[in-house]
Structure 1
Amino acid sequence: MERNLQLRAATPEDLDWIHALRHRVYAQELGQHAPNSAGRLRDGLDGDNVYLVAARGEVRIGFISLTPPWLKRYALDKYVSRGELPLLDEDDLFEVRILTVEPRWRASAAAPLLMYAALRWIASRGGRRVVAMGRTELLAMYLAAGLQPVGHTVRSGALTFEVLTGSVTELTRVAMDRHRATLNRLRAQVDWRLDAPFAPRADGCEHGGVSFTAIGTDFHDLDRRHQVVAADVLDAWFSPAPGVRAVLADDLEWAARTSPPTGAEGLLAEIARVRALPVEALVPGAGSSDLIFRAFGQWLTPQSRVLLLDPGYGEYAHVTERVIGCRVSRFRLRRDDGWRIDRDQLSAAVQDGRYDLVVVVNPNNPTGRHAPAAELRSLIAAAPERTRWWIDEAYLGYVDMGESLADLAATDPRVVVCSSLSKMYALSGMRAAYLVAEPATARELRRRTPPWSVSLPAQMAAVAALRDPEHYRSRWLRTHALRRQLAADLAGADDTVTVEEAVANWLTVTLPSDGPSAAQLVQECRRSDVYLRDLSPMSCEYQGRTVRIAVRDTAENARIVSAFQQAMAVLRPGSARRASIPASVSTTGSSR
């Protein structure tokens, strides 16, 4: 039966069938509602909620309803107060409800597939928790999916429902562990038309760099790099300093075959000189992701409590939640507040000392906002002694390196600064970064650092880059000009979108609520070999409607604008191609 079973978002033409099926099942068959002469059951959330539909050809089989958190109301509000069920106040809670299948198809895979489709759609919009009402007669099916009762039952008409919940991470783990073979079989048989990937990556984190798949990750033929606009990762648009190219070109054969200094001693000495830091406070890394995994793996356990900015760089949530299994909370940044950190609110959030680690990315990726160093210093000074602060300064050069907290990190055991040389210095492919910490902390991390962790070409390139600050200062200034022009051109290309500039080398574009999803825009732009970043999985705050675009050079920026304009023309309501766009590959992090 599953062959040619289609999973898709409901169209306006589906709504009459949905209302009719609801009447036949919940009024006539189950007695939850009184039958009516129109033969239709409508819902108070219709028009705001999302329906996913299973169909086989022209025959509709079943549907499921999703209520996103940005509506600020749920169907459960009719039955349970927020005081009785506090999880209804969580910022990233999605309600799943009214799973309904036509009688003749109830023995098929339609119901489980609709539940799985709902999970994937929710994950693609940054959802982290699900709440549902499951009919008591079908409780076993919901438990098998990983949902757990919360201890409330709800009576509606002749039916009794159990209130159930589960984290998206845990529900995904259950789906992958218990039902992987079935999902792998169905993947080849189901016509998946949702704008969310059918399955998560094996490691559970959608890292950046999807554009490289268009070039070829086997490196067999790299000519495609000239056709692909890689605006989905925040690599620099400019070349490394002339000295970098010179030192690599001088004897590349020797650099390739020769083992580097064991502990990157020369690189650390250069960082210490340029940044006016004690060398004993420095730890080298093959990119900041290397340092994040190494340090967090040493400091944190499943019992640790961590506070992350939301929206924020996805690697932190991946490491703390999925790799280590920490108890993670989120400090919400709001579009209405300009995505800025409210110092008083953050101070209040950490004041009771519950957190072992607070992560602040500054400037923040993806919101693109910078918190003044003076505010962060006063915030940290007033925080409890037991709380460690991790400050990620990967993009600080685009603002002012004088805003760094590295000097504080070198003396205060509560503060660690992580700085990547990848993005600011056009060395993403080299993988070079460093961490600044109080010497005892740095010494322990260096002890756990493998020898030769940073390659010889990377060490040579990083040292040469640090010796040419004027080259990079001019490139950072030019980036601001390019970003402003790109923002103006995108805003001029379509007046229905909202363009927000970052302080670094990217901007964001938010689509109107009645327009296409961010995932659809990303997929459509790929037809023009232009790769953008769907921010939806990072946070519910984006509501599935925001893309991040890296600043490129003038010619590539023009291609971005052209692809964006063409995509929006295709995807506007009424376009014949809109409903047939295949699922995009949503992403949540970018390599550092």
Structure 2
Amino acid sequence: MTNPVPTVRPRPTVAELPRYSRAAGLSQIRWRASSNESTVPPSPLVQKAIVDAAAHANLYPSLQGDQLVEDLSERLQVTPEQIVVGGGSLALLQHTLAAYTGAGTQVVHAWRSYEAYPILIGVVGATAVPVALDADHTHDVDAMLAAVTPATRAIIVCNPNNPTGTELPRTEIERIVTSVPDNVLVLLDEAYQEFATADVDGLSLVRHHPNVVVFRTFSKAYGLAGLRAGYMIAHPDIADNVRAAAPPFGLSLLAEAGARAAWSDIAHTDHIVEVVCDGREYLRREAARRGLKTPVSGANFVWFPVGSRALEFADACVEQGVSVRAFEGEGVRVTVGDRDAEDAVLTAIDSLDWQSARLERCAPGR
């Protein structure tokens, strides 16, 4: 039986939003290297904390993740009033855009960057202003600054960048912060900060620039992608407005318990980071031996800028039992951390005739 077509219609901006992509071949693969998840399970401390918290699942969580906020405040040396926690850093970015942008405003961001940005910007009614990456697959700071207009209310900087893994050095981040007007928010998405190779710490910028906001997550280096927990750090006034724009009880009881336990288990986080760094070095080195140059990555993945052969590359990986994330006409992103999956990707590379067509290689790594 065919369901009747609804006659209600979404707002025009919603109807035109891009849809978040799915990796191909998920039903037929052995390894998932398409979602930038940790290949290392959560620590035993996290698992126990979740089980213990589940016994109280009949109760609401704290209104604003109060205990996690206290833990973060103590180690990061910022006040609790500067911290907002929620169901992943992406949700917090959405609330920030809702609080500070909207119809008639613009949000500048690099492209290609995280594919959710145009969606979040469109949902709040603002206009996305994408700025192409430079030849090294890195944010083009000059072009991004040139794109700022009187209508600009925020500029998003994903550092390290998803999906290319490239990083801006501290001097370039500071140039963005000091060049934009004071009424423009600089939103630093540091989801992969724990894996970074550059000397960037957004917290120091927050301390000196009231228009800087830092977003971080427990999904990557803490291995909690399935729990959805993240935090942002900002001037107390900005944090207060973001809380006002967010639904109450934004962090579940289990997510808060798991995040607190993961935050306390520093050794386990260090282990996850070590596994990632080893995996990305191995994959980049072995790919280079096969003639595929990749940008230096500061994240838990490697970017293959194979251009028009992206879908072909992804299909070859699926044939070897591993899913990857392909961006048609641009490249392929491969999550690292499982040596068998990395070897499957290398086998896929070996199965393709890279000499039969022009391969769009990136510049040698920095």
Q: TM-score, normalised by structure 1?
A: 0.53
- Pairing partner for 1:446 from 229, 243, 259: 243
Deviation at 1:247, TM superposition (A): 2.1
Aligned pair 1:330/2:330, yes or no?
Answer: no
Q: Partners in 2 of 1:234 and 1:505 — Cα distance?
A: 6
CA contact (8 A) 2:197 2:298 kept: no
1:509 counterpart residue number? 304
| Aligned residues between the structures | 345
Correspondence 1:208-227 to 2 at 5 A: 208=22, 213-214=26-27
1:289 counterpart residue number? 90
Of structures 1 and 2, the one with the larger relative CO (CA 8 A, separation 6+) is 2
Aligned pair 1:557/2:342, yes or no?
Answer: yes
Aligned pair 1:425/2:258, yes or no?
Answer: no
Deviation at 1:462, TM superposition (A): 0.6
2:137 counterpart residue number? 339
* SS, match of residue 284 in structure 1: strand
1:318 counterpart residue number? 119
Alignment-mate amino acid for residue 339 of structure 1: H
1:548 counterpart residue number? 333
- Pairing partner for 1:242 from 44, 65, 68: 44
1:403 counterpart residue number? 200
C-alpha offsets along residues 86-134 of structure 1, whole Å, 9 cap, x if unaligned? xxxxxxxxxxxxxxxxxxxxxxxxxxxxxxxxxxxxxxxxxxxxxxxxx
**Residues 253 and 299 of structure 1: CA distance in aligned 2, closer, same or farther (over 3 Å):** closer
Unpaired segments ≥5 residues, structure 2: 1-11, 358-366
- Pairing partner for 1:206 from 20, 24, 46: 20
Aligned pair 1:302/2:87, yes or no?
Answer: no
- Pairing partner for 1:254 from 55, 63, 68: 55
Aligned pair 1:280/2:81, yes or no?
Answer: yes
Q: Partners in 2 of 1:378 and 1:525 — Cα distance?
A: 40
C-alpha offsets along residues 234-264 of structure 1, whole Å, 9 cap, x if unaligned? 1112222332123234x36415444322221
Deviation at 1:354, TM superposition (A): 4.5
**Residues 545 and 386 of structure 1: CA distance in aligned 2, closer, same or farther (over 3 Å):** closer
Q: Partners in 2 of 1:434 and 1:522 — Cα distance?
A: 33
| RMSD of aligned alpha carbons | 2.9
C-alpha offsets along residues 4-37 of structure 1, whole Å, 9 cap, x if unaligned? xxxxxxxxxxxxxxxxxxxxxxxxxxxxxxxxxx
* SS, match of residue 274 in structure 2: helix
2:8 counterpart residue number? none
Alignment-mate amino acid for residue 417 of structure 1: V
CA contact (8 A) 1:391 1:417 kept: yes
- Pairing partner for 2:184 from 384, 387, 396: 387
Deviation at 1:210, TM superposition (A): 5.5
Correspondence 1:158-237 to 2 at 5 A: 173=16, 204-208=18-22, 213-214=26-27, 228-237=30-39
Greater fraction of residues in strand: 1
CA contact (8 A) 2:110 2:144 kept: no
* SS, match of residue 498 in structure 1: coil
Q: Partners in 1 of 2:38 and 2:109 — Cα distance?
A: 26
Unpaired segments ≥5 residues, structure 1: 1-168, 174-202, 216-226, 537-543, 575-592
CA contact (8 A) 2:215 2:233 kept: yes
Q: Partners in 2 of 1:256 and 1:207 — Cα distance?
A: 32
1:464 counterpart residue number? 261
Q: Partners in 1 of 2:27 and 2:252 — Cα distance?
A: 27
Identity among equivalent positions (%) equals: 24
Q: Partners in 2 of 1:286 and 1:512 — Cα distance?
A: 34
Aligned pair 1:520/2:312, yes or no?
Answer: yes
Aligned pair 1:498/2:293, yes or no?
Answer: yes
Q: Partners in 2 of 1:392 and 1:472 — Cα distance?
A: 19
C-alpha offsets along residues 194-230 of structure 1, whole Å, 9 cap, x if unaligned? xxxxxxxxx632245666x528xxxxxxxxxxx5211
Deviation at 1:399, TM superposition (A): 1.9
- Pairing partner for 1:477 from 243, 250, 274: 274
Correspondence 1:520-539 to 2 at 5 A: 520-536=312-328
